[in-house]
Structure 1
Amino acid sequence: MSKQNHERVAAVLWQDSPEPHDYPAAAAYLSLVLAEETVARVVAALERGPLTRHKAKDLLRASGLQLLGATDPHVAGDLAKVARGEKLSPVLLVRGDAAKGHPLQIADGYHRVCASYHIDGNTDIPAVLVDLP
């Protein structure tokens, strides 16, 4: 999808809560950066956590992750969903600690954050944000 097509999209639509399959995906990612017992507690907190809203540009900055291109297959898939008017699932986040040099962890939804940024970096993205236990 070209940048011109992104500009025609009025807004990214979001679901009211994360998809059930987002939690195992978050656990799979978090198991690479946290101990197993911590992963279980973080995922349980994510399942209970309230939705907050954060700008796409701020999520990328806080995570230290690079913006994936619009041609990345997963980003392109999310951009196509947006173009069709489909709602995206909120993202799952684990708060970083700037004082300790630990970035925000996008436990699930990195591609959705990137797709949203391609449409508008100021997109407010619904997210569940939890602290490490």
Structure 2
Amino acid sequence: MAVKWLDAPEDHDYAAAADYLSLIGEDHAVGTTVAALRSADSTLRKAKDILRAARLDLLPATNARVKGDLSKIDSGKKLSPILLVRGDGVTGAALQIADGYHRVCASYLTDEDTDIPCRLVSWQS
């Protein structure tokens, strides 16, 4: 079954992204980065490439959140696009999945070549 996507991230996704990013960034940078995510255009990236760039392991289908997203995919419900903060090839900083890690994993388990709509920005200062 093909993964279906909403046209834009849901409002609560930005709050979740801010919560996560506040663990690794300063408040000012988090605020401006989340604002940039809100206004960024969507782009498509492959599930396998997102996981690789983020240096994250694929969560199993038995993970409760992944299982929930797989159920949504099976029932034809649309998933919210992913929010990403670009890593740095010079310093070796990994891509950050600010919101949507479980959705990426569910998409990968459905088809690793799934094109995932995402908002991708660099850290803002």
TM over 0.5: yes
* 1:122 partnered with 2:113: yes
Question: Where do residues 20-99 of structure 1 align in structure 2 (5 Å cutoff)?
Answer: 20-99=11-90
Quote the Cα distance in structure 2 between the aligned partners of 1:66 and 1:42.
25
Question: Where do residues 2-21 of structure 1 align in structure 2 (5 Å cutoff)?
Answer: 9=1, 11-21=2-12
Larger radius of gyration: 1
Give 1:121 shift.
Answer: 0.4
Residue aligned with 1:127, SS: strand
Residue aligned with 2:94, SS: coil
Give 1:99 shift.
Answer: 1.6
Quote the Cα distance in structure 1 between the aligned partners of 2:71 and 2:38.
27
Report % sequence identity. 58
Structure 1's consecutive aligned runs of 4 or more residues displaced over 6 angstroms after TM superposition are none
Give 1:91 shift.
Answer: 0.3
Which runs of 5 or more structure 2 residues have no equivalent in the other structure? none
Supply the AA of the counterpart residue of 2:16: A
* 1:102 partnered with 2:90: no
Give 1:44 shift.
Answer: 0.3
**Which one has a larger percent strand, Structure 1 or Structure 2?**
2
Residue aligned with 1:132, SS: coil
Which runs of 5 or more structure 1 residues have no equivalent in the other structure? 1-8
Root-mean-square deviation (CA), in Å?
Answer: 0.5
